[in-house]
Structure 1
Amino acid sequence: MPRFAANLSMMFNDAPFLERFARAAAAGFRGVEFLFPYDYPAEQIAEQLDKHGLTQVLFNLPPGDFAAGERGLAALPDRAAEFREGVDRAIDYARALGCTRLHAMAGLVADEAMRPRMRAQYLENLRYAARRLQEHGLTLLIEPINSRSIPGYFINRQAEGHAILAELGEPNLKVQMDFFHAQIMEGDLATTYRRFQAGVGHVQIAGVPDRHEPDTGEVNYPYLFQLLDDSGYDGWIGCEYSPRGLTEEGLGWYSSWR
């Protein structure tokens, strides 16, 4: 049976962030993920997790100036020192929250001529981060993101991510497979998952094309949930979607999977 984690950056967002944990637990979720925890002391988040019996599944390393449009640092030349500081900060939060998976956002390509230099920096930073996380028993994730949601994002396709895994060979480096992004960029989701499943460290879902509940749009999620079960996937499935209205009113899809 799949295990679903509510993404608290996108779900229950009619409530203040620290109140969303209670809402997720009341809706039947046992895991949560979100983009970033850094606006809150780790102790406050840990208190909410403990109080409501929730597992912290995933969050991202510091992404640079997110409000100004930055979308990660890992592939940005000349930002390596800031990236490494972010790795240490994320490890501190992960240990306080009992979270075992951290995602390193790559960043945006401002100039295509810079792509080779960016790739070299990306590999160097990922190797560093994976080895630092390994010291604490943590897994580092990278995620291909579709070019419509984040134009210019450095990595867009599953094959790109898994090629990096093969090149680096770090045992705790994995790829997130967000079926929303993968459907937009490449489709053929079942075959793509089967091809790369050994390197998939986390799965996320949303309806395509509008990123609403997974029972809307063109993707047959019940089929994919069964595929994940049949394949032996034992990780979490992050519900990274924007509800059409009140989150609880759109959870009909979840009733048979609770």
Structure 2
Amino acid sequence: MIKLAANLSMLFTEHEFLDRFSAAAEVGFKGVEYLFPYAFEAQDIRQRLDAHGLKQVLFNLPPGDWDAGERGLASLPGREQEFRDSVEVALRYAEALDCPRLHAMAGLLPEDADDAVYRRHHASYIDNLRYAAEACASAGRTLLIEPINGRDMPGFFLQTQQQARDIVREVGVDSLKVQFDLYHCQIVQGDLMHEMEAQYPQIGHVQIAGVPERHEPDRGEVNYPQLLEHLEGLGYRGWVGCEYRPRAGTVAGLGWASAYGIGGRT
């Protein structure tokens, strides 16, 4: 059975962040993810997880100055020490929250980036990921990278699935995997079934949303029931993160998830 995790950065935003844990549990979610925990004490989040029988399945490393538009540090030349410090912060939270996976956002290329600039970013990315993947391995965690489409995040360094696979191979550390987001993949390149099969050995986590509007995955271009059935048939037993913006209230839009045990209040 596919296991759905609620992304609390996008779902249940009718509630304050720490109240979203109980809201997710009430409709049957057993796992949660979100962008960042760092505005809260780890023990406050731990208490919410324990109180509601939830597993923390994923969050991101600190991304730099998010409010100023930064979207990760991993590929940014000259920010290596800041990136390493962010790994240590994330691992402390991961230990407190018993979170097995951390996502390192790649960061943005400059608008006028040429091949030389790209190569510098690539070299920094490989070195930083190797450091972070080894640190995660020592802590019993998995590090993830995620291709993100350039329409939602213009200039993002990592956009294609093949690029992600090549980087995982180049880094060469077993604890580095790909966060396979079907929403981003459809926008960038489509061919989801093939990409799922080609990517499968490197997949460490999966996320979904409707395309093109990033609402519930029950409308639009993507046949999610078929894709999730195929994913399960490949042997995937991890979590599938629901990283979408509800059209009209989180609970009202959960009808699609009833097939996976989500939607009814418990």
Which bin holds the TM-score, normalised by the shorter protein? over 0.9
Mapped partners of 1:193, 1:256: distance in 2: 21
SS at 1:5 equivalent:
strand
One-letter amino acid matched to 2:113? E
> What is the CA deviation profile of residues 146-186 of structure 1, one whole-angstrom value per residue up to 9, with x for unaligned ones?
01000000010110000011112100000011000000001
- In structure 1, the partner of 2:133 is 130
Corresponding residue of 2:252: 249
SS at match of 2:20: helix
How big is each residue's C-alpha offset from its partner over 1:54-85, in whole Å with a ceiling of 9 and x where there is no partner?
00000000000001110000000010010000
Residue matched to 2:232:
229
- 1:213 corresponds to 2:216: yes
Partner of 2:264: none
Q: What is the DSSP-based 3-state SS (H/G/I as helix, E as strand, rest coil) of the residue aligned with 2:105?
A: coil
| Structure 1 consecutive aligned stretches of length 4 or more whose deviation exceeds 2 Å | none
Q: Specify the alignment match of 1:47 in structure 2.
A: 47
Q: Could you say which residue in structure 1 is the equivalent of 2:91?
A: 91
TM-score under structure 2 normalisation? 0.96
Which stretches in structure 2 are left out of the alignment for 5+ residues?
262-266
Q: Distance in 2 between matches of 1:256 and 1:194?
A: 23
Alignment length (residue pairs):
258
- Superimposed CA distance per residue, residues 97-138 of structure 1 (whole angstroms, 9 cap, x where no aligned partner): 000000000100014121100000000000000011111110
How much does 1:246 deviate? 1.0
Counterpart-to-counterpart distance in 1, 2:170 and 2:83: 21
CA RMSD of aligned residues (A): 0.6
Q: Distance in 2 between matches of 1:228 and 1:98?
A: 25
1:256 Cα shift? 1.3
**Higher RCO, Cα 8 Å, sep 6+:** 2
Which AA in structure 2 matches 1:92? R
Helix, strand or coil at the partner of 1:198: helix
Q: C-alpha distance in 2, partners of 1:177/1:132?
A: 22
Match of 1:164 among 164, 167, 171: 167
**Residue aligning to 2:157:** 154
Q: Which runs of no fewer than 5 residues in structure 1 stay unpaired?
A: none
State which drifts further: 236-245 or 111-120: 111-120
What is the SS of the residue equivalent to 1:226? helix
Counterpart amino acid of residue 155 in structure 1:
L
TM-score, normalization by structure 1: 0.99
Show CA shifts across 1:172-228 (max 9, x none).
000011000000001010011101100011000000000000001110000011001
Q: Distance in 2 between matches of 1:202 and 1:98?
A: 16
Distance in 2, Cα, partners of 1:140 & 1:229: 22
What does residue 19 of structure 1 align with? 19
Q: Which residue of 2 aligns with 1:204?
A: 207
Q: Percent identity?
A: 56
Q: What is the Cα deviation at residue 253 of structure 1?
A: 0.2
State how far apart, in whole Å, the 2-side matches of 1:65 and 1:168 are: 26
1:248 is displaced (CA, Å) by 0.1
Q: Distance in 2 between matches of 1:202 and 1:162?
A: 14
The equivalent of 1:118 in structure 2 is: 121
The reply to whether residue 56 of structure 1 matches residue 59 of structure 2 is no
Partners of 2:97 and 2:87 in 1: CA distance = 15
Distance in 2 (alpha carbons) for counterparts of 1:132 and 1:102 = 11
Instruction: Name the SS of the counterpart of 1:174 in structure 2.
Output: strand
